[in-house]
Chain A
């Protein structure tokens, strides 16, 4: 009987513990209340005195590839810029400066030939000499069709690069030999362009031009290893860090490159950390919990928790907000009536209250705007620059709809407006944005729209096939020049112009700007194009400039101070040699 009682007590105890665990789990409260965010406001983490040594663990998202000549995602490029550098690098103001090069390129009088002289004594991390042939191979590798680099297009203006890349039969020695890049001597190489390109020095800061260690990969078709445990030892590096460990899906560990010199950095910096760990975490909410627990020293803020996290960490100086060169807006398929009618497009744009949408769907985290080009981009405009033409104004919106002949509160006898579909990606903020617009159109214009929610690849495929009416989308800058925001996006037949913007005025100005070597004139042209895009709603009605939101421990130095938004994945990751600890 005693045994029976003990056995029952044991069972009861386990049952009670299980029930308690369930109840404890119900006791939590994920409070998202907090302070109000102020667009444009920033806080800088307190920077103490830097110490030599120490470790940092940074939450980030893992990229796919780890060959810069194949890469296209910001997450990949973030890590690659820690491991390699091009001949040139952007400084904190996005101006190209010599990195591995000894000076800015010598450009021929016709603007077609760039001669680049490297610094002497450059070494790969494994001790081998870093030579001009390595930089030549970097370009040949990117132009090679077998490598299938996703950003090859930035090298399109190099003579022969497109011809080889588009060769259906794959690698061709003769086509490769015809590419306009050659080694002059061990420290000098030369690039020949098809057209003068004012932005080409900036292109030479980009990852498709990073050098290839020819002593490890002697042919342009040689594949770099896939990111995995064997990756770190199989490569040589010329960036501020070397990879020491790579566990896919979990983390990468970096250490300072012994052959890096501060003079290669635009900020004259060399790593002071002993160890830098990139912890791969896809879910920002998880990264934020790890930050709160102290398991990582840096994390991006999950936008749906922005207000709560901001109110918690802004007072301690751990919250940082950086405006990023990204604009989102409502893209409209101009080949689908009634969106071919400018008045209809203006009605839709003016019905939308961007300020309120930012508060409702973005936790006040972004910057409402009426300009496609952000102010930080040359030729860009202030967020309210076009408020008079496309800003929120329900009365004007209804006037435009009336002018287009459609029924609304001010024009009850007009014709019925067709039901348009908003094609949206399956994310909380995207769905919120779609619902917001649907409600705004209903409230201000009295028109109905449908929302179609799909996953990312489906949405991209539908966009490419031009199978959409309304499409909340946008653009993130690849390099800091207005041409990157306009060419291919708004010129007739442009590769990314799936909203079918076709405006002779825009086309003429793009043609005049693209290879214009007069910088003032070029920027003025892009500024005018920006105005045309916006006021004619030529494919997109801008509504927000995007900001990044970071959590950085107070003892971290060099991150917040050197973040300018171009980096975007981790604060200041394009100049990660400045990262360190103050304790």
Chain B
């Protein structure tokens, strides 16, 4: 297992290099640049700006400079405001990660619960309600859900907030200071509920569908019939024998869902004016902020690689038949 983990970690290096290289050249191939404006810049101003950010150099030289800086852990500067990309990502990550982790917990708890209930009450009312939720949650885009939630619960009822994220903020993200996250007084829960529901509902619906299918399949297995025949209590059959054995397909989707949620959502962060990394990434693409595009793309690639690695390890934990050599 240790060898497997080390091999997987080492493999992420060429993966990240490939992502960096492809992104770099694709980014420069797209029409328009960071200084293309509605009001065109005078040639001298444009030339000075390009010099300032090394855009006056040949592309291969820019690429070489970028890789050299990257190897030293330097993600460069944002072309828009001159800030360090690393600082921008870490600030955004502090918020996005909180939102993503809570949304992931919401999606997992609600999704698995609904999926199990639906399977246990197969073709009965609870099943139909759960399938209905799953269908709605999958079909309705999160910007619609977010907008409706804001209008109903914030503007009309006045119960919850419209702007911002209610978690404790960090000027500079430091994983060692995450103790703040567990202090309830540091949170404004009126600004937590809606973004979490808006972000997590699609994932909850998807998890519910996968869970339902997986549990139904396991419930039809011989060993479940045997467990019942032995007179085990239903909750023991469900919790010990059914859910555990149904977890492999669910875990398969949880990894990508976790990566999806903790890397932020352009839509949810925009609708709630949350200063997260997802919104900054999409904005960077629209603005051709090359520094930010490269930095955030690499960061997202690293998160996805890490999430997949964790899922692979969890496979072995959940299903002893799976072994890595």
Seen from chain A, the residues whose Cβ lies within 8 Å of a Cβ on chain B are 1, 3-4, 7-8, 11-12, 14-16, 18-19, 21-22, 24-28, 30, 64-66, 72, 145-150, 152-153, 162, 165-166, 168, 170, 223, 226-229, 247-250, 279-283, 285-286, 289-290, 292-293, 295-296, 454-464, 473, 475-476, 495-496, 498
Residues of chain A lying within 8 A (CB to CB) of residue B48: 145-148, 165
A148 B110 Cβ-Cβ under 8 A: no
CA gap between A15 and B154 in the complex, in Å: 24
B151 A28 Cβ-Cβ under 8 A: yes
A286 B152 Cβ-Cβ under 8 A: no
Of the candidate stretches B65-73, B112-120, B246-254, B257-265, the one touching chain A is B112-120
Q: Is B49 an interface residue (CB 8 A)?
A: yes
A28 B162 Cβ-Cβ under 8 A: no
A146 B39 Cβ-Cβ under 8 A: no
Residues of chain A lying within 8 A (CB to CB) of residue B130: 15, 19
Residues of chain A lying within 8 A (CB to CB) of residue B242: none
CA gap between A135 and B210 in the complex, in Å: 67
A291 and chain B: residue at smallest CB distance: B162
B31 A458 Cβ-Cβ under 8 A: yes
A295 B87 Cβ-Cβ under 8 A: no
CA gap between A26 and B92 in the complex, in Å: 31
A15 B126 Cβ-Cβ under 8 A: yes
Rounded to whole Å, the gap between the CB of B3 and the closest CB of chain A is 41
A72 B39 Cβ-Cβ under 8 A: yes
Residues of chain B lying within 8 A (CB to CB) of residue A27: 148, 152
- Sort A-B residue pairs by CB-CB distance and give the 9 closest, nearest first: A457-B32, A148-B48, A249-B275, A460-B36, A461-B32, A28-B148, A226-B82, A226-B83, A166-B44
**Interface residue SS majority, chain B:** helix
Within B123-142, the residues touching A (CB, 8 Å) are: 126, 129-130, 132-133, 136-137, 140
Rounded to whole Å, the gap between the CB of A572 and the closest CB of chain B is 23
Q: Select A25's contact among B52, B120, B132, B140, beta carbons within 8 Å.
A: B140
A144 and chain B: residue at smallest CB distance: B48
Residues of chain A lying within 8 A (CB to CB) of residue B310: none
CA gap between A313 and B323 in the complex, in Å: 66
B285 and chain A: residue at smallest CB distance: A455
B37 A72 Cβ-Cβ under 8 A: yes
Residues of chain B lying within 8 A (CB to CB) of residue A296: 163
B152 A282 Cβ-Cβ under 8 A: no
B270 and chain A: residue at smallest CB distance: A283
Rounded to whole Å, the gap between the CB of B205 and the closest CB of chain A is 9
CA gap between A290 and B152 in the complex, in Å: 13
| Binary A-proximity of B102-117 (CB < 8 A = 1, otherwise 0) | 0000000110011011
CA gap between A476 and B171 in the complex, in Å: 36
Q: Select A18's contact among B82, B88, B114, B273, beta carbons within 8 Å.
A: B114
A153-B45, A226-B83 given; name 16 further pairs at CB < 8 Å: A12-B126, A15-B126, A22-B140, A26-B140, A153-B44, A165-B45, A166-B47, A285-B147, A286-B271, A290-B162, A295-B161, A457-B36, A457-B288, A460-B38, A460-B40, A496-B40
Residues of chain B lying within 8 A (CB to CB) of residue A3: 233, 235
Seen from chain B, the residues whose Cβ lies within 8 Å of a Cβ on chain A are 30-34, 36-45, 47-49, 51-52, 78, 80-83, 87-88, 91-92, 109-110, 113-114, 116-118, 120, 126, 129-130, 132-133, 136-137, 140, 144-145, 147-152, 154-155, 158, 161-164, 169, 171, 197, 201, 204, 233-235, 270-273, 275, 279-280, 283, 286-288
Listed residue (B45, B126, B204) with the most chain A CB atoms within 10 angstroms of its CB: B45
Rounded to whole Å, the gap between the CB of A17 and the closest CB of chain B is 9
A282 touching B163 in the complex, CB below 8 Å, given contacts A15-B114, A26-B148, A460-B38? no
B113 A15 Cβ-Cβ under 8 A: yes
B273 A279 Cβ-Cβ under 8 A: yes
Sample 16 A-B pairs with CB under 8 A, ordered by A number. Answer: A1-B233, A14-B114, A16-B129, A18-B133, A19-B133, A25-B148, A64-B80, A148-B51, A148-B52, A226-B78, A248-B81, A283-B270, A283-B273, A457-B31, A457-B34, A457-B288
B36 A12 Cβ-Cβ under 8 A: no
Rounded to whole Å, the gap between the CB of A372 and the closest CB of chain B is 16
Residues of chain A lying within 8 A (CB to CB) of residue B30: 458
Q: Select A228's contact among B83, B116, B164, B286, beta carbons within 8 Å.
A: B83
B37 A460 Cβ-Cβ under 8 A: yes
Rounded to whole Å, the gap between the CB of A275 and the closest CB of chain B is 17
Rounded to whole Å, the gap between the CB of A77 and the closest CB of chain B is 13
CA gap between A498 and B41 in the complex, in Å: 13
CA gap between A458 and B161 in the complex, in Å: 37
B144 and chain A: residue at smallest CB distance: A25
Residues of chain A lying within 8 A (CB to CB) of residue B44: 145, 152-153, 162, 165-166
B273 A26 Cβ-Cβ under 8 A: no
A30 touching B147 in the complex, CB below 8 Å, given contacts A152-B44, A290-B162, A293-B162? yes
Q: Select B286's contact among A7, A292, A456, A498, beta carbons within 8 Å.
A: A456
Rounded to whole Å, the gap between the CB of B113 and the closest CB of chain A is 5
A293 and chain B: residue at smallest CB distance: B162
CA gap between A462 and B4 in the complex, in Å: 50
Rounded to whole Å, the gap between the CB of A247 and the closest CB of chain B is 7
Residues of chain B lying within 8 A (CB to CB) of residue A30: 147, 151
CA gap between A502 and B30 in the complex, in Å: 31
A457 and chain B: residue at smallest CB distance: B32
B234 A25 Cβ-Cβ under 8 A: no
A12 touching B117 in the complex, CB below 8 Å, given contacts A30-B151, A146-B48? yes
Residues of chain B lying within 8 A (CB to CB) of residue A454: 31
CA gap between A7 and B52 in the complex, in Å: 64
B132 A19 Cβ-Cβ under 8 A: yes
Residues of chain A lying within 8 A (CB to CB) of residue B49: 148, 150
A455 B32 Cβ-Cβ under 8 A: yes
CA gap between A8 and B42 in the complex, in Å: 70
B81 and chain A: residue at smallest CB distance: A64
CA gap between A292 and B149 in the complex, in Å: 14
Residues of chain B lying within 8 A (CB to CB) of residue A15: 113-114, 117-118, 126, 129-130, 133
Residues of chain B lying within 8 A (CB to CB) of residue A229: 171
B271 A283 Cβ-Cβ under 8 A: yes
A286 B272 Cβ-Cβ under 8 A: yes
Q: Select A227's contact among B81, B169, B235, beta carbons within 8 Å.
A: B81
Residues of chain A lying within 8 A (CB to CB) of residue B140: 22, 25-26
B234 A4 Cβ-Cβ under 8 A: yes
A462 B31 Cβ-Cβ under 8 A: yes
B41 and chain A: residue at smallest CB distance: A150
B81 A226 Cβ-Cβ under 8 A: yes
A11 B113 Cβ-Cβ under 8 A: yes
Rounded to whole Å, the gap between the CB of B98 and the closest CB of chain A is 14
Rounded to whole Å, the gap between the CB of B121 and the closest CB of chain A is 8
CA gap between A121 and B97 in the complex, in Å: 51
Residues of chain B lying within 8 A (CB to CB) of residue A147: 48
Rounded to whole Å, the gap between the CB of B193 and the closest CB of chain A is 10
Rounded to whole Å, the gap between the CB of B173 and the closest CB of chain A is 13
CA gap between A295 and B81 in the complex, in Å: 27
Residues of chain A lying within 8 A (CB to CB) of residue B144: 25
B204 A18 Cβ-Cβ under 8 A: yes
A22 touching B136 in the complex, CB below 8 Å, given contacts A72-B39, A248-B91? yes
B158 A293 Cβ-Cβ under 8 A: yes
Residues of chain B lying within 8 A (CB to CB) of residue A16: 129
B81 A65 Cβ-Cβ under 8 A: yes
Rounded to whole Å, the gap between the CB of A332 and the closest CB of chain B is 17
B110 A18 Cβ-Cβ under 8 A: yes
